[in-house]
Structure 1
Amino acid sequence: MKRLVKAGAALAGLAVVVLAVVIAVAVATAPGPDPAVLVEGESRTSSSGQYTSEFFSEDSDGQHLVYPVIKDAAGAVVWSDDERYLQSAHPVGVVWQEDADVLWLLSSDIGNSRVVQVDGEWTKDWDQATPPPDIARIDEGR
């Protein structure tokens, strides 16, 4: 009888170890957010290196809202989004296009848009063509 109890305890211990390993592997290999997508408190640099994007934030009616901005190399804000996003409910993915200074705003709530320079001014464009492959890949993975 002692031998059966010891064998059962050993098997239970082994099962716990195996379960812990399976959970650790699942967590380590789970897809996370794309590192190109802007995270609050960080900045991302455009492909030319001349611009950065970051989130500014404001609190309104007890909610923490964010909005993306573009800064030039001197740190001056050259564009600020007029939309405010509640990231906990309707997050916006903010990502620079790999091969051009084009900032994409990916939102399942209000739709995707891009921010481009037109005649030296940054403009938000809602009627853009199909996103390039790097942006489409990120949008599909969100």
Structure 2
Amino acid sequence: MTRRGLLGTLTAAGAALLAACTGRGGDERLATEEREVGSPSGEFSAIVVADGDVLRPTIYDAAGAAVWTDDLQHVDRYFPGVIWESEQDVLWVLSTDHGNGSVRRAEDDSWERTMGSESMPAEIAEIARP
């Protein structure tokens, strides 16, 4: 095997191992630093924003204004899963460091987080499994 082939194989193996360890892999529904994901209504989007050495899941409205930014400090080592429910504008932040929580609009149109997994739909629970 050539050196380039070995490097490619090791890189692919490392990516597969990382995906297996996080339990979240490369699910296209997950927001990352590079991938912004729209809400079911299309009115909002979520992305993970680097703030120095801290990661902050953030929700933006259609005009590009941040309407919610996570106040918990996430780090690369415990990269959070950030995913919308498929039917409602409810964002889940899946964190092995801080615990899971959902973020949804309140009656006054602000966004509120609820910690815990009690109301987690099965579609999100599948991704939250380690």
Question: So what's the TM-score if we normalise by structure 1?
Answer: 0.70
Distance in 2 (alpha carbons) for counterparts of 1:105 and 1:77: 16
Q: Which residue of 1 is the match for residue 66 of structure 2? A: 77
**Deviating runs (4+, > 4 A) in structure 1?**
none
Q: Which residue of 2 is the match for residue 130 of structure 1? A: 119
Q: Which residue of 1 is the match for residue 104 of structure 2? A: 116
Contact 2:99 2:116 in 1 (8 A): no
Query: Match for 1:48 among 22, 41, 49?
Result: 41
Structure 2 counterpart of 1:81, one-letter code: D
Question: So what's the TM-score if we normalise by structure 2?
Answer: 0.76
Structure 1 counterpart of 2:58, one-letter code: V
Q: Which residue of 1 is the match for residue 22 of structure 2? A: none
Bigger-Rg structure (1/2)? 1
Distance in 1 (alpha carbons) for counterparts of 2:85 and 2:102: 9
* Percent of aligned positions that are identical: 33
Q: Which residue of 1 is the match for residue 94 of structure 2? A: 106
CA RMSD in angstroms, aligned pairs only: 2.1
* Higher relative contact order, structure no. (Cα contacts within 8 Å, ≥ 6 residues apart): 2
Q: What is the DSSP-based 3-state SS (H/G/I as helix, E as strand, rest coil) of the residue aligned with 1:95?
A: strand
Instruction: List runs of 5+ in structure 2 lacking aligned partners.
Output: 20-24
